[in-house]
């Protein structure tokens, strides 16, 4: 259930191991593309390579969410429909609740349902268990089995990550866990470690713990960067030296944190738990890096009122065609609040998409005068950018500390990084 940037690679993985896989998705265009033998996602070459043969062999097919023909024959149902937060950072269960009701209506006897979508602790058992039982008329852990297994992969390299990292599994009972372990041992590559934890709740918390750790670590790196900027120290040198000691694993600072995971999943831990103190503070720090960046620019150039500023990279990270919760958006808002004219460029998005996101599209082939450029996503296309490609540029802000500063300084253009 769900053929997005992670769901489709999972389907391809299972089909590649000889299983008959039905992919279900609400997007009819995606379903039609897959049934033609083409990958609707092109950010992972292995998908492009494998999908045609798997579809031709009848191992992989797709149907729409509201027309799940053949669903009742499924021995295992893997649900990876997104759960996100809204503008107030409240959890939105609507799409996955709808998917769960569809699963329940079509569930065969003895089927195993596994949720891979990241969830608040207790959701698998307490929210979806009763929903599945009521909708199917089956009894949990008797003729309906339920488990949670967190996805631990990155978009663009899902199939690789499935081989590299242990698969964590927790069930609502010992039998549900046993069946889930057996499924993954059959569906993943031979030699992949499948590790059962004590419960579905423990497995849910594993994902929240590892994701929130990254957010907290990045927040610490951002605090170090802000301190280093006040002391005229290059924080990248400090972090590299500190991490030469085996107990130090400091991440890298940046203009913000984006994506489906890190800005979202800490809220699954602390939204309803007032005793959580560090995760909400980390979110506040990381969300504030856009404002810090604007202050840094204005310290060097003065007011940005009426000034043209270019944001390079609207995607949430380098070389992905995805902008979910991108830190380009708080950066955009802070620039607009400062009175700047905000341009955007991204090789993965067309001009109309950029306009919908609130950026004036910028054409590097027909460049306009820009006073400040901010690298937000370190796409490979930007890493060797000619400093002269942007006319009128006075300051280049390296929001990912990814660019050789000497190239800009030799061209007489000011350079500043995050904590550099």
SS3 percent helix, strand, coil of the chain, rounded to 5, is 40, 15, 45
Identify which of 91, 112, 75, 81 has the alpha carbon closest to the alpha carbon of residue 3.
81
| Token digits of residue 115 | 């949720």
| Token digits of residue 403 | 């660019």
| Token digits of residue 31 | 């379903």
What is d(CA 316, CA 329) in angstroms, rounded to the nearest whole number?
A: 10
Is 261 among the residues known to form the active site? Answer: yes
Catalytic residue among 61, 138, 207, 317: 207
140 DSSP 8-state letter: B
What is d(CA 104, CA 137) in angstroms, rounded to the nearest whole number?
A: 8
What is d(CA 225, CA 234) in angstroms, rounded to the nearest whole number?
A: 8
| Token digits of residue 363 | 């054409």
Burial class (CB in 10 A: 0-12, 13-18, 19+), 31: buried
Looking at 116-252, which runs of residues are DSSP E strands? 144-148, 167-171, 194-196
Query: Using CA of residue 214, residue 216, residue 219, residue 221, what is the dihedral sign?
Result: negative
Is 207 among the residues known to form the active site? Answer: yes
Catalytic residue among 112, 158, 159, 261: 261
Identify which of 399, 401, 348 has the alpha carbon closest to the alpha carbon of residue 376.
399
Three-state SS letters, 164-196: HCCEEEEECCHHHHHHHHHHHHHHCCCCCCEEE
The 341-345 sheet, strands edge to edge: 360-361, 341-345, 308-312, 372-375, 395-398, 414-417
| Token digits of residue 243 | 């991490």
- Point out the residues that are catalytic: 207, 261
């Amino acid at each position: 259930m769900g053929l997005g940037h992670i769901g489709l690679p999972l389907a391809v993985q299972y089909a590649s191991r000889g299983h008959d896989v039905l992919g279900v998705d609400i997007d009819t265009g995606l379903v039609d593309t897959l049934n033609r033998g083409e990958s609707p996602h092109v950010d992972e070459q292995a998908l492009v390579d494998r999908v045609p043969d798997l579809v031709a062999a009848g191992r992989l097919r797709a149907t729409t969410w509201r027309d799940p023909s053949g669903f009742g024959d499924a021995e295992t149902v893997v649900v990876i429909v997104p759960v996100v937060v809204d503008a107030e950072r409240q959890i939105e269960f609507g799409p996955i609740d709808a998917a769960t009701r569809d699963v329940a209506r079509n569930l065969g006897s003895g089927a195993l349902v596994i949720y891979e979508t990241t969830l608040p602790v207790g959701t698998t058992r307490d929210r979806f268990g009763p929903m599945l039982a009521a909708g199917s008329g089956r009894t949990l852990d008797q003729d309906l089995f339920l488990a949670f297994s967190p996805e631990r992969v990155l978009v663009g390299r899902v199939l690789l990550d499935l081989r590299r990292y242990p698969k964590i599994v927790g069930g609502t009972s010992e039998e549900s866990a046993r069946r889930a372990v057996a499924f993954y041992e059959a569906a993943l590559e031979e030699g992949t470690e499948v590790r059962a934890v004590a419960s579905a709740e423990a497995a849910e918390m594993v994902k929240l713990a590892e994701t929130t750790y990254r957010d907290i670590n990045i927040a610490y790196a951002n605090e170090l960067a802000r301190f280093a900027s006040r002391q005229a120290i290059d924080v990248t040198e400090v972090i590299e030296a500190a991490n030469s000691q085996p107990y130090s694993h400091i991440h890298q600072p940046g203009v913000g944190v984006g994506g489906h995971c890190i800005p979202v999943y800490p809220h699954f831990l602390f939204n309803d738990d007032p005793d959580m103190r560090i995760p909400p503070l980390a979110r506040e720090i990381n969300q504030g890096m856009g404002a810090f960046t604007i202050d840094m620019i204005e310290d060097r150039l003065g007011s940005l009122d009426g000034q043209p500023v270019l944001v390079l990279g609207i995607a949430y990270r380098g070389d992905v065609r995805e902008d979910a919760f991108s830190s380009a958006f708080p950066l955009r808002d802070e620039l607009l609040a400062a009175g700047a004219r905000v341009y955007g460029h991204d090789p993965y998005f067309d001009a109309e998409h950029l306009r919908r996101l609130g950026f004036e599209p910028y054409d590097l082939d027909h460049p306009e005068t820009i006073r400040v450029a901010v690298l937000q996503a370190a796409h490979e296309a930007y890493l060797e950018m000619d400093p002269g490609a942007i006319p009128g540029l006075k300051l280049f802000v390296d929001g990912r500390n990814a660019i050789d500063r000497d190239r800009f300084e030799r061209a007489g253009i000011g350079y500043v990084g995050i904590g550099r």
